[in-house]
C-alpha cells in the first residue's frame, strides 16, 4: 500500500555540542506501525525529529524515497510526510474545522486557494477521527482526548503516506490512550499509512507496534516484532528495571510486569526474573 520509504543512514544527531545520537541506521517498514521506546533522554524523540526534518543530522542522512530529506523542498516533504509534534498549540479561538483545514496548507499555493477537494479532505479526516460533531467548536474548549483527536485529524487532512507522532498519548488518561492508539491502528489498516510513534507505555507499545525499536543512550539496542525482542534481559538492559515478561491475556503480545523492591510476591515471580 505505502509507496514511500523512510530510512536513516548513519545519522549523528545533537543540539549544539551535545551529541545525543551517534551514528545509527533505521529502516522504517512501509505500511506498518513502528514504535520507538526507551528511557528518558535516550534520543528517541531526537531521532523522530530528524526523520521529520525538524533537526539536521551533523553526519549521515535521512532518506525519503532514497533522497536526502534535507535536500528536498520543504513542500515536497510535507506532501509525503506528516508530523504530530509532542505538544502542539492551537491559536486562541481557532475552530476545529479551521485547525483541521490547516493540514491542507502544503496542497495549496499562491494561486490555488481553498477548493472543494479541501473540504472533502477535512470531512474525511473529521469522520475518521469521530470529530465531525465538533467541527464548529473552538479547540480551546475541548477535552484533552478530543483535542488530540483533532490534531490527528489535522495530520490526516494533510493526506500523507507517512505519519510521525511524538508521544501522541502523553497527558491522556488510560482510556483515551487506548482510544488514540486504536484510532491510529484503524488509519493504518484502512489507508495503509506508515506510522512511526514514540511511546512511553511499554505495554501499549508491545500491543500496538508491528515493529519496535528499543533505544538506549542514543543507540538501538534491539528492533523487530515485539514478541521477538521483548524479553526480561532486554527490558533490564534498556530500562534498567527488573521485570517479568508474560503473555498479555488480551492480545497475546508480550506484557511487561515491572518488579520493584516492594510489593512483590516471591512465589508469584517468574523464575527467569530472579536471575
Partner 1 sequence: MTGTRLREAPDPRLADAVRTVARVRGRGRRRSVVVAGGLLAAVATVFAVSLSLGDMVLPLRTVVDTLFGGGDGGSRFVVLELRLPRALLAVLVGVGFGLSGAVFQSLLRNPLASPDVIGISAGASAVAVTASLLFQVSGLALSGSALSGAVAAGAAIYLLAWRQGVAGQRLVLIGVGFGTGLSSVVWYVMARSDTADAQEAYLWLTGTLNGRSWGQVWPLLTALAALVPLTMLAARALGPLRLGDDAAAGLGTRVEPARLALLGCATALAGVATAAAGPVGFVAFVAGPIARRLVPGRGAALPHAALTGALIVLVADLGAQHLLPSVQLPVGVVTSIIGAPYLLLLLARANRGGSSG
Shortest approach of partner 1 to residue 8 CB, angstroms?
A: 17
For residue 273, the cross-strand partners are: none
Q: Which one of residues 83, 150, 212, 235 is an interface residue with partner 1 (CB under 8 A)?
A: 83
What per-residue string of b and e applies to 64-75 under the rule 16 or more CB within 10 Å gives b?
beeeebeebeee
Q: Would you say 34 and 43 are in contact if contact means Cβ atoms under 8 Å apart?
A: no
- Pull the grid cell for residue 57: 543530522
- Dihedral sign, Cα of residue 189, residue 190, residue 191, residue 197: negative
Q: Which one of residues 123, 221, 229, 259 is an interface residue with partner 1 (CB under 8 A)?
A: 123
Angle between helices 174-191 and 144-157 (to 10 degrees): 20
CB count within 10 Å of CB 263 equals 6
The binding track of 179-218 with respect to partner 1, each residue x by CB under 8 A or -, is -----------xxxx-------------------------
Q: Would you say 244 and 273 are in contact if contact means Cβ atoms under 8 Å apart?
A: yes
Q: What is the DSSP string of 7-35?
A: EEEEEEEEETTEEEEEEEEEEEPTTSEEE
Shortest approach of partner 1 to residue 54 CB, angstroms?
A: 6
Binding residues for partner 1, total number by CB under 8 A = 60
Taking alpha carbons only, the member of 217, 197, 221 closest to residue 207 is: 197
Shortest approach of partner 1 to residue 245 CB, angstroms?
A: 35
- The reply on whether position 30 binds partner 1 by CB under 8 A is no
Q: Which is nearer to partner 1, 14 or 23 (CB)?
A: 14
- Coil/strand/helix, residue 248: coil
Q: Which is nearer to partner 1, 25 or 186 (CB)?
A: 186
Angstrom CA distances, 148 to 87, 93, 139, 191, 225, stand at 10, 16, 10, 20, 27
CA–CA dist 179, 188 (Å, integer): 14
Q: Which is nearer to partner 1, 94 or 257 (CB)?
A: 94
Q: Which is nearer to partner 1, 135 or 222 (CB)?
A: 135
Shortest approach of partner 1 to residue 199 CB, angstroms?
A: 18
Task: Return the range that interacts with partner 1 (CB under 8 A); candidates 135-143, 220-228, 236-244, 264-272.
Answer: 135-143
Q: Which one of residues 52, 198, 215, 243 is an interface residue with partner 1 (CB under 8 A)?
A: 52
- Pull the grid cell for residue 12: 549523528
Q: Which one of residues 11, 28, 33, 80 is an interface residue with partner 1 (CB under 8 A)?
A: 80
Applying CB under 8 A, the residues found at the interface with partner 1 are 1, 3-4, 16, 49, 52-54, 74-86, 88-95, 97-99, 101-103, 105-106, 110, 114, 116, 119-120, 122-124, 126-127, 132, 135-136, 138, 155, 158-161, 190-193
Amino acid at each position: 500500500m505505502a509507496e514511500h520509504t523512510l530510512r536513516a543512514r548513519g545519522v549523528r544527531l545533537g543540539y549544539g555540542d551535545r551529541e545525543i545520537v551517534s551514528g545509527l541506521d533505521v529502516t522504517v517498514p512501509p505500511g506498518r506501525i513502528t514504535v520507538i521506546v526507551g528511557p528518558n533522554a535516550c534520543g528517541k524523540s531526537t531521532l523522530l525529529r530528524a526523520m521529520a526534518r525538524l533537526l539536521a543530522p551533523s553526519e549521515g542522512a535521512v532518506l525519503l524515497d532514497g533522497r536526502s530529506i534535507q535536500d528536498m523542498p520543504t513542500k515536497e516533504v510535507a506532501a509525503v510526510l506528516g508530523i504530530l509534534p509532542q505538544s502542539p498549540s492551537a491559536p486562541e479561538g481557532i475552530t476545529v474545522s479551521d485547525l483541521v483545514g490547516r493540514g491542507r496548507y502544503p496542497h495549496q499555493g499562491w494561486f490555488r486557494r481553498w477548493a472543494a477537494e479541501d473540504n472533502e479532505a477535512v470531512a474525511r479526516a473529521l469522520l475518521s477521527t469521530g470529530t465531525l460533531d465538533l467541527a464548529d467548536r473552538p479547540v480551546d474548549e475541548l477535552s484533552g482526548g478530543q483535542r488530540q483527536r483533532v490534531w490527528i485529524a489535522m495530520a490526516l487532512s494533510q493526506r500523507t503516506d507517512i505519519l510521525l507522532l511524538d508521544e501522541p498519548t502523553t497527558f491522556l488518561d488510560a482510556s483515551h490512550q487506548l482510544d488514540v492508539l486504536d484510532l491510529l491502528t484503524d488509519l493504518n489498516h484502512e489507508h495503509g499509512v506508515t506510522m512511526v510513534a514514540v511511546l512511553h507505555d511499554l505495554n501499549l507499545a508491545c500491543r500496538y507496534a508491528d515493529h519496535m525499536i528499543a533505544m538506549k543512550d542514543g543507540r538501538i539496542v534491539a528492533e523487530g516484532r515485539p514478541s521477538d525482542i521483548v524479553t526480561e534481559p532486554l527490558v533490564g538492559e534498556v530500562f534498567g528495571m527488573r521485570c517479568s515478561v508474560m503473555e498479555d491475556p488480551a492480545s497475546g503480545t508480550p506484557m511487561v510486569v515491572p518488579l520493584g523492591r516492594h510489593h512483590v510476591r516471591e512465589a508469584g515471580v517468574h523464575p527467569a526474573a530472579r536471575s
